[in-house]
Amino acid sequence: MLADLHNHSCLSPCASLEMSPRRLAWEAAAAGIGLLALTDHNSARNTPAFFVACREADIMPLAGLEITTREECHVLALFDDPEDALAMGEWVWEALPAYPLDAERFGDQPVVDKNENIVEMIDRLLTSSIEYVFHEVQHETERRGGLFIPAHINRQAFSVESQLGFLPPGTYDAIEVLAPEAETYQQRYPNIPVITSSDAHLPNQIATQPFCLQTKEGTISAIRKSLRALCSPQ
Ligand SMILES: [Zn+2]
Ligand SMILES: [Zn+2]
């Protein structure tokens, strides 16, 4: 099936206000996506509405966050259900600087319900880096049973390559790479599953860079196993 594990909703200040969780779910489903994750910056508050929408659209959901580490690396933490993602979100929130949101400059951060009604406006800037470094975020995600995936690692900003200069040695559930270089990276890291994602912030970016995953189940453990099968260990 087609999987797309990195997408934003209106809660991310840099995403369009038209990106309700409901719209994301239905448009991804219409484009043939079978497994879809919502990963707003440093928050999982829109994942409950996202799960309802995915169930209605008959698409398997994952609840996640795109966390900004202290080094300004973006990493994905993905969970089976909103409760787990919200709990991770609490840990992140405690480590997030209390910079007030300048909505004129950065955009609004609405939490919405399944019917696209605004239930809360988050007034702390969500895109700041948290106080924990890369390996601390990895450890916490894995301790909570989540998938840990360094995001767009070959991007020129907010990636492990741009911020650290290299991918720290270790084991990863997957690494996310900007599409044109996916094959090159799979050769460079033969033991790590390489995936692509849409990282959609706008409606016209939905379902543009999914990858193929052989799985019938949408659970973290089944997905982890299926990801392993993407690469052939040497
Ligand atoms: Zn990012
Ligand atoms: Zn993103």
The tokens for 199 are: 């990282």
- The whole-angstrom separation of Cα 44 and Cα 36 is 14
Examine the pLDDT at 20 and tell me if it is beyond 70: yes
Average pLDDT, the chain: 96
Could you say which ligand is closest to the alpha carbon of residue 12?
A: 2
Distance 234 CA to ligand 1 centre (A): 30
Give 47-105 as a DSSP string.
Answer: HHHHHHHHHHTT-EEEEEEEEE-TT--EEEEEESSHHHHHHHHHHHHHTS--PBP-HHH
114 CA to centre of ligand 1 in angstroms:
25
Q: Does the structure show a pLDDT above 90 at 231? A: no
pLDDT tens-digit readout, 35-80: 999 999 999 999 999 999 999 999 999 999 999 999 999 999 999 9
Spacing, Cα 106 to ligand 2 middle (Å): 15
String of DSSP letters for 168-215: PSS--S-EE--GGGHHHHHHHSTTS-EE----BSSGGGTTSS-EE---
Say yes or no to pLDDT of 98 above 80: yes
> Coil, strand, or helix at residue 185?
helix
Mean pLDDT of 216-233: 90
Token couple for 43: 């928050």
Report pLDDT for 232: 64
| Tens-digit pLDDT profile for residues 150-204 | 999 999 999 999 999 999 999 999 999 999 999 999 999 999 999 999 999 999 9
Ligand that lies nearest to the alpha carbon of residue 157, given by its number in the listed order:
1
- Report the pLDDT value the prediction gives residue 233, as an integer from 0 to 100: 53
Residue 216 has pLDDT above 90, yes or no: no
Q: Where do the domains of the chain lie, and which CATH numbers do they carry?
A: 2-228 (3.20.20.140)
Residue type, 155: R
CA 198 to centroid of ligand 1, rounded, Å: 11
The pTM of the whole model exceeds 0.85? yes
- Give the DSSP letter of residue 168: P
pLDDT at 234 over 50: no
Mean pLDDT of 75-100: 98
